[in-house]
Chains A and B, each alone.
Chain A
Amino acid sequence: MSAPRATRGTALHAGAWWLWALGLATAASRTTNPLLLGLLIGVAGYVVAARRGDAPWARSYGAFVRLGLIVVAIRLVFACVLGSPIPGTHTLLTLPEVPLPDWAKGVRIGGRVTAEGMVFALYDGLKLATLLICVGAANALANPSRLLKSLPGALYEAGVAVVVAMTFAPNLVADVQRLRAARRLRGRPDRGFRALLQVGLPVLEGALERSVALAAAMDARGYGRTAQVPPAVRRLTSVLTLGGLLGVCAGTYGLLSDTGAGYGLWVLLAGLAAALGGLWLGGRRCVRTRYRPERWGPRACLVAGSGIAVAALMIAANAYAPDALHPPAVPLTAPVLPLWPALCVLAGLLPAFIAPAPPAPAPRGHGAGAPRSAAPFTKEPSR
């Protein structure tokens, strides 16, 4: 089956992309084999390259990859400077050790850096980086604000707050850049920490003004209209939600402690049911409807399923071949690529073939890159 072009009508449910990515992330958390982790990164990267559009959020993937590399680097530096609990025999270099007082026993700064310690740190850092890159892939393929649209009505207003906050950050960064550039015009240096401090107040003032303007616009467009709900229903909603959340807390505590294992599960389930009931009742206050909600079709099932399958197969492989998934750092051995787990990871490539393909990139000059670029004016059909 060939994939259709992605339009609003055929677009994949955002939840499917997130399930797929979380599946890959779960798989990554179950192994430290650098070859398998590399394969997971490759799978995520290939799907992103094949299926992302040209919207601003789709470009965030690169940022996540860089973040992953930084995590690996930080992990290596820490292992190098603070030492590693891994006993090792291959000494790479010896850093001068800082003498620490008695009470700081167990902490070491400097000293011997072993190859085993560094390899262990690399595997560990790579695992974290893979998790980040999987989240980045989901972010690039499905705008998180689309996910928020699937929230129940009662949580809608909280969802909007999150979306507004998310669009706020890029504006703030743009403001800081503009004001720092403006400092140059006053003959003051535009770099350095002082420059950043001095633009702080104007930036915050600007941000506050923008928020007030947005709040006014939202109010004038009907945000926060509520339906009349009988007082009894309102009270019942509060009781159910609060009671439900208390039940969830108590149940979780019961499950985790030794004594309450018997009733913990039941309290948890009852609490969950009450909280969901409260949310559902709360939704009746909300008059909102949804414009073209994304449908959960067979393609969404396949995409989500492929991610879940990767996670499930990796968990199964952990029981079947734990050594291959966790190559030991002591003694140093070259990791090998276990055949079956590797094939399982490749199942994650399925979305690159069945998810709707992004539309052809806009012609140059439509300026996907710059908000102020010169897009040709669309003339009115008639005057």
Chain B
Amino acid sequence: MIRFEQVSVTYGDAAAPAVQGIDLTVPEGELCLLVGPSGVGKSTLLQAVSGLVPHFTGGTLRGRVTVDGRDTRTHPPRELADVVGTVGQDPLSHFVTDTVEDELAYGMESLGLAPDVMRRRVEETLDLLGLADLRERPLATLSGGQMQRVAIGSVLTTHPKVLVLDEPTSALDPAAAEEVLAVLQRLVHDLGTTVLLAEHRLERVVQYADQVILLPAPGAAPLMGDPAAIMAVSPVHPPVVALGRLAGWSPLPLSVRDARRKAGGLRERLTGATAQGHGGAGATAEAVAVSGSAPAVISGLGVRRGRVEALRRVDLTVAPGETLALMGRNGAGKSTLLTTLAGMHEPTSGTVRVGGRTPHRTKPRALLRHVGLVPQEPRDLLYADTVAAECTAADQDADAPAGTCRALVSRLLPDVADGMHPRDLSEGQRLALALAVVLTARPPLLLLDEPTRGLDYAAKARLVEVLRALAAEGHALVLATHDVELAAELADRVVILAEGEVVADGPTGEVVLSSPSFAPQVSKVLAPLPWLTVPQVARALEARP
């Protein structure tokens, strides 16, 4: 269905091609997963299928890409619109119209289909994707998962033979991601659509894939094959595969179900060993509340944003050196809680104290020393046009001695040159730079909103190390995240929010084990044993050979 013949792509004046030596065929009706570390050219490969590379992005494409027999060199993206449907990571930038039904019809209108055909297909697609109740809703009022389903539906109505998706679940909470994946499953099984998909969060998708294409490193030739075989050699892999590799299972399990069947022996070996805490250096919240030195104390907090009550009766105390993960579905109030701690909203009821001060009444310059927030889009914090200028500005903002920020950057990002533009950094590097800028004022309380969005496993591992070191130095960390694996690895305590209220609050082990949607893969495999992450299991196995 999709054929790459000796394809290489070189952008503009880049010295080396973004991808090269691609020579592979994706057969019809398969769900094919594209994996690899950041920056190996996954998006380039996907855009080459829809013809956006090179017609829209520029650059030189050597070799030949054919989709359903059409050569992308002679067919611009609009001439491929009836064969290939493309959905990106951010559905909002994909929408042209303003209601669900119009959006579904837009592609068909462009192709000039007859009105009765359009009507029939819109109805079918509404049913297929479970969108019938939402048909007249304005797009701006949908939740993240609903938007992503509409975006998929909007390209399905033209009955494409190939569906190309770039990180469709990265921005979604676990439940919404399952919604989207269930839809993809149905398309492959019921309609025989060929799906080519790139995703960083492999733990969500790898068990559904028929084939995996691995781009191991920039410029390296791709490997394609059976998911289990590729996962055995892949530098990026989900925790369940890491556990399988650790325990030496063959073939490697890809889903929790497969792993549980093989895990009997491992569970026996681990019974009796005690799960070692991770981090866990923080004093207990109660002890600190008494002494009054907690970095953040929230009591009876309520916040309204417009007509929506974003938070209701929230009580929370964060101890020094404690790492706390805030979880919950999109729109549950996680970001509002963080921004309230940073003084960006005035509470409608209750009190917030950060380092003994009321954040929304404190001058930003003074508040900087008590709390630092890295927002969901770290780019929002960066204004200067070089890394060095950004560091100088951060030193001035925080009244820190010159060079403080640069020293932090060198620690977090050893290989970044002074003259680079923040925009040219990768997602992970940009996050590290924003983190360094915030840390320049040495705030005892550090807040991070969705820090792992768009990070590959290597960047995530580096981030975990950095954050652990910060916690050990006594910084209190609060992370708002959908990433259950990150929470399991890093957090001492997990707080789950729903509709603006705290519905669970306790040590990570207890909270995530009691909730199937927030449990990490390792704990699902080893339940009822209390292990959460692969490194924990590895340590326990080393201790008891």
Binding site for B on A (CB under 8 A): 7-8, 55-56, 143, 145, 160, 163-164, 167, 178-179, 181-190, 198-199, 201-202, 205, 210, 213-225, 227, 287-292, 359, 365-375, 377-381, 383
Contacts of B273 in A (CB 8 A): none
Contact A377/B381 with A184-B344, A185-B373 known, Cβ cut-off 8 Å: no
State whether B115 touches A8 (Cβ < 8 A). Answer: no
State whether B131 touches A378 (Cβ < 8 A). Answer: yes
**Cα distance A220–B105 when bound, in Å?**
15
A-B pairs, top 4 by smallest CB distance, nearest first, are A222-B81, A222-B110, A291-B105, A287-B112
Asked whether any CB of chain A lies closer than 8 Å to the CB of B473, the reply is: no
Asked whether any CB of chain A lies closer than 8 Å to the CB of B530, the reply is: no
Contact A370/B158 with A187-B364, A217-B86, A225-B110 known, Cβ cut-off 8 Å: no
Residue of B nearest to A53 (CB): B136
Whole-angstrom distance between the Cβ of A289 and the nearest chain B Cβ = 5
**Cα distance A382–B136 when bound, in Å?**
23
Contact A219/B141 with A8-B101, A289-B115, A374-B499 known, Cβ cut-off 8 Å: no
**Cα distance A210–B88 when bound, in Å?**
12
Contact A289/B331 with A374-B499, A377-B143 known, Cβ cut-off 8 Å: no
State whether A370 touches B113 (Cβ < 8 A). Answer: no
State whether B344 touches A181 (Cβ < 8 A). Answer: yes
Mark B13-38 against chain A: 1 for CB-CB distance below 8 A, else 0.
00000000000000000000000000
Whole-angstrom distance between the Cβ of A181 and the nearest chain B Cβ = 5
Mark B159-175 against chain A: 1 for CB-CB distance below 8 A, else 0.
00000000000000001
Asked whether any CB of chain A lies closer than 8 Å to the CB of B543, the reply is: no
Mark B248-274 against chain A: 1 for CB-CB distance below 8 A, else 0.
000000000000000000000000000
Mark B347-377 against chain A: 1 for CB-CB distance below 8 A, else 0.
0000000000000000011011000110100
Contact A145/B96 with A56-B138, A372-B330 known, Cβ cut-off 8 Å: no
Residue of B nearest to A170 (CB): B140
**How many pairs, one residue from A and one from B, have CB atoms within 8 Å of each other in the complex?**
217
Partner of B96, one of A164, A183, A289, A373: A164
Contacts of A199 in B (CB 8 A): 383
Contacts of B51 in A (CB 8 A): 220
Most buried by B among A205, A220, A227, A366: A220
State whether B397 touches A187 (Cβ < 8 A). Answer: yes
**Cα distance A221–B160 when bound, in Å?**
11
Residue of A nearest to B394 (CB): A186
**Cα distance A329–B456 when bound, in Å?**
74
State whether A216 touches B381 (Cβ < 8 A). Answer: no
State whether B141 touches A367 (Cβ < 8 A). Answer: yes
Contacts of A223 in B (CB 8 A): 78, 96, 110
Contacts of B97 in A (CB 8 A): 145, 163
Contacts of B145 in A (CB 8 A): 377
Contacts of B423 in A (CB 8 A): 205
Contact A369/B306 with A188-B364, A213-B90, A216-B52 known, Cβ cut-off 8 Å: yes
